[in-house]
Chain A
Amino acid sequence: EDQVTQSPEALRLQEGESSSLNCSYTVSGLRGLFWYRQDPGKGPEFLFTLYSAGEEKEKERLKATLTKKESFLHITAPKPEDSATYLCAVQVSWGDDKIIFGKGTRLHILP
């Protein structure tokens, strides 16, 4: 069964303390991997798409990387406004374009 697992479930960091969030996936065929940010009570906000192993994308303090089995979201020198839930999602195979999500990592940056 196609599955997306994110770790840790929650992470508390001091402002400026860099870290990484993990997304591991077991799918029949990966079409694309997506990272989203979600603030409380709002819909997910798109951050990145990764298509193939070795690919990297950057946006401000965030960098997403992809291997054959997992993706990392690296956050460098985070600020309190980076506090949110970060969701990983995969689009499975070429014929079935369903997008499935992990449970997310709740990130809290302390000032």
Chain B
Amino acid sequence: DTGVSQNPRHKITKRGQNVTFRCDPISEHNRLYWYRQTLGQGPEFLTYFQNEAQLEKSRLLSDRFSAERPKGSFSTLEIQRTEQGDSAMYLCASSRKQGAGNTEAFFGQGTRLTVV
């Protein structure tokens, strides 16, 4: 299967703990996006990478959130000192930069985080 893969699919954690999610994009895609989605809302942009470079980070994103893509392949999203408000679906998507533009982004199945 060459789709976007996210792990784990579900994560339950206690408030104050740190969590890390992993995303493996489609192999030939150089762009990778992270989004957060809560019930009844559309995906909210968090950050994105081109290869290993983090190009933009949402100003709404707390300093407790950090993302990496060390070798331009898989990416990790870490949340430190989790809060109940962090409970959401975390979605990863990848696309291929083509010339001055982009191909469409393809999404993984998401990681559902529940903070208790």
Interface residues of A (CB under 8 A from B): 4, 6, 31-32, 34, 36, 41-46, 49, 87, 89, 91, 94, 96-104
Contact = CB atoms under 8 A, between A and B. Distances in A.
A36 to B, nearest CB: 8
Interface residues of B, number: 28
Given A97-B31, A98-B48, A98-B56, A103 B42 contact: yes
Interface string B1-15: 000101000000000
Contacts of B107: 36, 43-46
B85 interface: no
Interface string B29-64: 001010100001111110010000001100000000
Contacts of B104: 32, 34, 46, 49
A42 B110 contact: yes
The A interface, classified by DSSP as helix, strand, loop or mixed, is strand
The B interface, classified by DSSP as helix, strand, loop or mixed, is strand
B100 A94 contact: yes
B116 interface: no
Most buried by A among B33, B35, B102, B104: B104
Given A34-B104, A87-B43, A97 B110 contact: no
B25 interface: no
Contacts of A32: 101-102, 104
B12 to A, nearest CB: 15
A43 B102 contact: no
A94 B98 CA distance: 12
A44 B110 CA distance: 9
A100 B106 CA distance: 14
A99 B45 contact: yes
Given A32-B101, A94-B100, A97-B48, A103 B91 contact: no
Given A94-B101, A97-B31, 17 more contacts: A31-B101, A31-B102, A36-B107, A43-B6, A44-B93, A44-B107, A46-B104, A89-B42, A97-B101, A97-B102, A98-B56, A99-B33, A99-B45, A99-B105, A101-B35, A101-B42, A101-B45
